[in-house]
Structure 1
Amino acid sequence: MHTCAPYWLNKEELPRRKPYVAFGRTEKSSEFPAIKMQIICKDLPPETLYDVLHDSHYRTKWDSNMIETCDIGRLTVNADVGYYSWRCPSPLKNRDFVTLRSWLPLGNDYMIINYSVKHPKYPPRKDFVRAVSLQTGYLIKATGRSGCILYYLTQVDPRGSLPKWVVNKASQYVAPKAMKKIYKAGLKYPEWKQRHNPGFKPWVYPEQNTLPNISLNELSLQHADSLENIDESSFAEDRMHISDNES
């Protein structure tokens, strides 16, 4: 049973059932507030959750909002550049990202962070709105022998004049449910991985990584003001459709 609670609740006010998702916003004065969430993942080892967040082949099994993803190339043994497109609730236009991602094992804990960059072979596409990840990251902290807590922080410029209700719905409903999907995906991952190239984990074993090398000179920081900003502010809430998979 999952329950949700505001990120700023006192410890004694938090739900007693676990796992739960806690969420909140920071930098309320910012045009694009950062959203913070955490979920307690009982009976899910941190290294398994780390694998889930890296394994793009498995992502097609649990991320129903994903349209397309691919790894473009690597900079170092723990940094790469990738493309990801995301299905937005109708009638909003779908978004895509090109991000530089880096990761770091910290003993029994793990960190993954990304931000948007420009790559010459992946310019903005007409069928998507190119959004900007200002800062996004996962922190996985071990708890005891077989559990972990997943912390998530994201600050995104969607490149669109969105109604306030869209932002509220995304932060209070869509994003927390996505955290629960990650947790459920983690519980099913070991069985799936045993049947799908179990020894292949290039994020753990760099010698398995066959991506082409990328130089930093090929990349530049993606500034939001250089991208198209579409106006979707007139969409009424009763026109928005969120499927069971999206929510």
Structure 2
Amino acid sequence: CCMVIKDVSAATMYDVLHDSQYRKKWDPTVLESFDIARLTANADVGYYACESRRPPAAPPSPMPLPRPQIHPSCASLSSGPSRGIVDSRVMLQSQFPVGVVLLRGHHDDLLLSGLCPKPLKNRDVVTLRSWMVTDDEYLIVNYSVKHPKFPPRKDLVRAVSVITGYMLKVTGPSSCIFTYLSQADPKGSLPKWVVNKASQVVAPKVLKCAHKAGQNYPEWKEQNSPNRKPWLYPEQNDLPRMDPSELTIQRADSLENVDESSSRDPRENEVAEDSN
């Protein structure tokens, strides 16, 4: 999903996406968000938990699904040195069973805003994140990992980020193209209508919220450690070091599926009863 931003620079949007303290100001679903440890100068591991949000009214059943499309603004995500991080093809797949946008690449991150309707359980995720800055591109990508000190919690459903990324393409001193991509498995037992609805609204909502946050970030940052940006200046990073060998990739099929059938849309309950 892409957005053309005409009033915020790519550099500012990049800072917004990295700044975990500011995340708590603009992300309406965040419960907890913090960095755990650094792996290299441009890679770390972090934790994110999101609050459940009630979705829009359930759509009629069956809901028609659009055909997959290649977004014209996203036909090529990278060039030069950045090609090692993300592949050049992006496919918007509203009918993808466990995600929003499919990116074929090698790393990633996850934001579950609006994906968890009450009374479903809140979600959390542990991700390995890496980033890169080139002359005209800013990239952040990550994927879910297992951390020995942050196992799944009983009060939350551990979701899985298969691949997620943000790319900011410089188009001017105060403008950019913002691309957001995510393939994620929310786990649990979300009703199909919730996943389908989320696939249509989550990505645009992420872009809209982040854009608004970018408009307000310079003023906020002036009052909150204006010179501290460890994502740009590694010498400022005071996170404890961690050996990457202590982490393993989090596979969705290795996590327990939490029963959330009580949260199904009434239409689904009727179908289930009719089939018995």
> Under a length normalisation based on structure 2, what TM-score does the superposition of the two structures give?
0.71
The one of 92, 106, 113 equivalent to 2:141 is 113
Cα distance in 2, alignment partners of residues 201 and 127 from structure 1 = 33
| Residue 190 (structure 2) pairs with residue 162 (structure 1) | yes
Alignment of 1:222-233 (within 5 A): 222-233=250-261
Q: Which residue matches 1:175?
A: 203
Query: Which position in structure 2 is the counterpart of 1:10?
Result: none
- Per-residue CA deviations over 1:68-98 (Å, capped at 9, x if unaligned) read 0111100000000000001122111111000
Q: Which of 83, 93, 96 is matched with 2:121 structurally? A: 93
**2-side partners of 1:73 and 1:210: how far apart?**
9
Residue 17 of structure 1 is matched in structure 2 by none
Q: Give the conservation status (yes or no) of the 8 Å contact 1:115–1:135.
A: yes
- Specify whether residues 175 and 87 from structure 1 end up closer, same or farther in structure 2 by C-alpha distance, changes over 3 A only: farther
Name which of 164, 167, 181 aligns with 1:136: 164
Give the structure 1 partner of residue 71 of structure 2. none
For residues 35-60 of structure 1, the C-alpha deviation after alignment (integer angstroms, 9 at most, x for no partner) is xx111111110000000000001111
Contiguous gaps of at least 5 residues in structure 1: 1-36, 240-247
Measured in 1, the distance between the counterparts of 2:254 and 2:202 equals 28
SS of the equivalent of 2:228 reads coil
Equivalent pair of 1:71/1:82 in contact (CA under 8 Å): yes
8 Å CA contact 1:163, 1:234 repeated in 2: no
Partner of 2:28: 64
On the 8 A contact 1:72/1:83 being kept in 2, the answer is yes
Residue 67 of structure 1 aligns with an amino acid whose one-letter code is L
Does the aligned pair in 2 maintain the 1:117–1:220 contact within 8 Å? yes
Question: C-alpha displacement at 1:108, in angstroms?
Answer: 2.4
The answer to whether 1:151 aligns with 2:202 is no
Superposed displacement of residue 238, structure 1: 7.0
**Contact in 1 for aligned 2:9/2:172 (Cα 8 Å):** no
Q: Are 2:5 and 1:41 equivalent residues in the alignment?
A: yes
Aligned equivalents of 1:231 and 1:43: distance in 2?
44
Partner of 1:48, secondary structure, is helix
Matched with 1:55 is 19
Q: TM-score, normalised by structure 1?
A: 0.79
- Pick the aligned partner of 1:203 from 220, 224, 231: 231
Aligned-residue offset at 1:171: 2.0
Quote the Cα distance in structure 1 between the aligned partners of 2:183 and 2:262.
Answer: 23
1:221 partnered with 2:185: no
1:194–1:219 distance in 2 versus 1, CA, 3 Å: same
Q: Is the 8 A contact 1:102 1:112 kept in 2?
A: yes
Gaps of 5+ in 2: 54-117, 268-276
Q: How many residues align?
A: 203
**More strand by percentage:** 1
How far 1:177 sits from its partner (Å)?
A: 1.8
Aligned residue type for 1:64: P
Runs of at least 4 residues off by over 3 Å: 236-239
